[in-house]
Structure 1
Amino acid sequence: MDHIVTVQDAVTAFADWMEPTDAELAAIEAEMPVIRAEMDLLDAQIVVIDRTPTVLDERRIRRARRRVLAAHRDLVNGLAEQTGGVA
């Protein structure tokens, strides 16, 4: 009988008893502003997929891009402050 270890590992890797660690939850929480900003940008881009963007659409996309960049900047700066150097 052949044992398929990789399938077993894949099945048990997502078992109910496996919870994210406190460090993983903290990392997700730290990245939430970036995630939200990227979701807003995606929403703005989805709106104009099937039509020509209006001036307001273009403005909304531009602002969303700036929020994404600002959120990334804030995240990297926060990590650099925590580590006391370059992130």
Structure 2
Amino acid sequence: MFYKLRRKELKKMKLTNAIKLLNQYGEVKQDETGARIEIDGWTYGASTNWNEQEVLFLYCECGANTWNRQFYSYNTLKGLKDCMDRYIRATA
């Protein structure tokens, strides 16, 4: 039940809204699988199905190799924005 509720929330999220948010923090790279930006080696993005406009999940990823990779996913644009703001404040 909880999983179904989360999926319904995410289905409302459009790629254009995620791109607007990411654009506030840097140059957005967009392709058929979504959109992303890179800040100091950290990648923040929105993932979609192939050429779809509905966002499957928002994510933050860092790591140079598979043994030292960190991956976080977010359900809302607000959650991703808070994560980016915390990182920027911590590195300022």
Normalising to structure 1: TM-score of the pair?
Answer: 0.28
Bigger Rg over Cα: 1
Could you tell me the TM-score, scaled by structure 2's length?
A: 0.27
Structure having the higher strand fraction is 2
Larger helix share, 1 or 2: 1
**Which one has more relative contact order, counting CA pairs under 8 Å at least 6 apart?**
1
